Amino acid sequence: MPRFAANLSMMYTEHDFLDRFAAASADGFEAVEYLFPYAYDATELRRRLDDHGLRQVLFNAPPGAWESGERGLAALPGREAEVRSGIERALEYAAELGCPRVHMMAGLVGPAQDPAEHRDTYLANLARAAERAAAAGVDILIEPINGRDMPGYFLSRQSEAHTVVREVGAPNLKVQLDLYHCQIVEGDLTTTLRRDLPTGRVGHLQIAGVPDRHEPDRGELDIRHLFGVIDDLGFDGWIGCEYNPRAGTSEGLGWRHDYRGDNA
């Protein structure tokens, strides 16, 4: 049955960040994810996980100058040294937090830039990162992101991500399939799940309602059907709840309690 992880960057924002662990645990979550851990001491984050019986299942590698608008570095020529140092920092946190997955953001690419050069850089950076992460027992993830929310992002389609994973050929390089982004870019989610989950190349799922990124039962997705498909395919990973609650996180969790496979 699907296992849900609370995304603490988007959920429980009515609490200070370090207090969101307790709130997620109180609502029955057993795992968490978030964008970045680097503003906090790793030992303090680990204490919060342990105090509330939570597992850390995902966070992102350093994305460059996030506050200035950068959205990753992996596909940006000339930034390779920052990518390498960022992976080292991410793996240090992953070791302390017991986190088995790190997402590497590709970055933004302008229309006048050479896509082939960016792609070559992307493949080389991912290969190096996957090799380094394999020694630590960590999977590196890449995620297609829709161009409405993040114009210019280098990777937007599932087929492109799977081609990259196949070309790099590292067993610990996998795709992060966000059903929200996928629906906006290409739709056909049932077929996508049935095609891609059995390959073993999907390392993590995420959900949100489309089009407004609220609770997953709000909008055009039939989440009960999609969860059933995921169940039928035997996916045993985590589904990150990466959405913006409409009016209080706990108040909007009816979708999870109503789902037949969730005992929380």
Q: How far apart are CA 254 and CA 209, in angstroms?
A: 14
Confidence of residue 202 (pLDDT cuts 50, 70, 90): very high
Q: How far apart are CA 188 and CA 194, in angstroms?
A: 10
Q: How far apart are CA 233 and CA 230, in angstroms?
A: 5
For residue 82, indicate whether it is catalytic. no
Reduced to 3 states (helix: H, G, I; strand: E, B; else coil), residue 140 is: strand
pTM: 0.96
For residue 30, indicate whether it is catalytic. no
Give which of 250, 254, 158 is closest to 197, Cα–Cα.
158
Q: How far apart are CA 115 and CA 130, in angstroms?
A: 22
The token duo for 252 is: 């909007």
Q: How far apart are CA 230 and CA 206, in angstroms?
A: 12
Q: How far apart are CA 176 and CA 144, in angstroms?
A: 8
Catalytic residue among 44, 92, 143, 186: 143
- Total structural domains within the chain: 1
Report yes or no: 7 and 32 within 8 Å, Cβ to Cβ.
Answer: yes
- pLDDT tens per residue, range 208-260: 999 999 999 999 999 999 999 999 999 999 999 999 999 999 999 999 877 75
Give which of 49, 45, 29 is closest to 37, Cα–Cα.
45
Residue type, 105: M
Q: How many CA atoms lie within 13 A of 29 on its CB side?
A: 29
Q: What is the DSSP string of 153-192?
A: BS---HHHHHHHHHHH--TTEEEEEEHHHHHHHT--HHHH
The CATH number assigned to the domain holding 54 equals 3.20.20.150
Confidence of residue 262 (pLDDT cuts 50, 70, 90): very low
Catalytic residue among 80, 92, 242, 251: 242
What is the extent of the structural domain holding 150? 3-261
pLDDT above 80 for 14: yes
Q: How far apart are CA 226 and CA 242, in angstroms?
A: 16
